[in-house]
Amino acid sequence: MLSYQHIYHAGNLADVHKHALLCAMLDYLTRKDKPLSYIETHAGRGLYDLAAPEAVRTGEAAAGIGTMEGRLAGDHPYRRRLAEVRARFGDSAYPGSPLLAALSLRPGDAIHLAELHPQERAALETAMAPFRAHVMAQDGFEAAQALTPPLPRRGLMLIDPSYEVKADYAAIPRHMAALHRKWNVGTLVLWYPLLPAAPHRPMIAALRAAFPEALCHEVRFPPAREGHGLIGSGLFVVNPPWGIEAEAAALGRLFGTVPGHAG
């Protein structure tokens, strides 16, 4: 459960999908002059170096953000955040979702991040120190239950486990139902991988039955290298902010231009 390290995958096509829509949602939520809470259950280290040997070896960033960034509109919130991160940390820096959120939020907003991996959490604490983030050495689902309903009550939660524990697929619908009962105004964002064996399908069927008004958006793409199992990315969004369906559709069309796109 503690072995996953995102540096091998940072900036891949799944990150582009997840982060572009996350930035768009936070951009919309911060337009209203009311404070909000951001909660993340599996935060990672927050800041990655795409020139690191781990990132270069897999080639996932080159196939991901390296291919897709120039296809996004120049004023897209995701591109604005990427530019801010490079200006602060250097040209090879890449932000994880905690840093993207911190740069999107305002001084009166709250940010809560859970991360169990000791080394990842130490790096996260360093990256997030300027932003007064609340970093927890706690299981993400336990932290989410303890924090909800948060103050401020407006807000967004990103649920982004590694799925190394296969039982997550069966447990997530129960977790999300419980979270929604406690925090029915919160935007709950679940990321999940698309793999050849499609273990996500029963989970998504259960979530669709529980949340018929939610947004479910998936993109497919070719494996980053021979034998790599990730063939797509999915987001399930309860209480999606206004305009995100159109944003997701536009992003899906961009993914359709990726060489070798699987359709």
Q: Would you please indicate which residues are annotated as catalytic (active-site) residues?
A: 160
Distance CA 191, CA 155 (A): 17
Which residue matches tokens 């939020």? 105
Which residues on adjacent β-strands are paired with residue 217? 235
For residues 194 and 201, give the distance between their C-alpha atoms in angstroms, rounded to a whole number. Answer: 9
Cα separations in angstroms, 125 against 18, 42, 134, 221, 228: 22, 14, 9, 33, 31
Query: How far is CA 86 from its chain centroid?
Result: 19
Q: Hey, how many other C-beta atoms are within 10 angstroms of the C-beta on 185?
A: 10
Return all residues near 88 (Cβ < 8 A) that are at least 6 apart: none
CA–CA separation, 150 and 26 (whole Å)? 17
d(CA 50, CA 238): 32
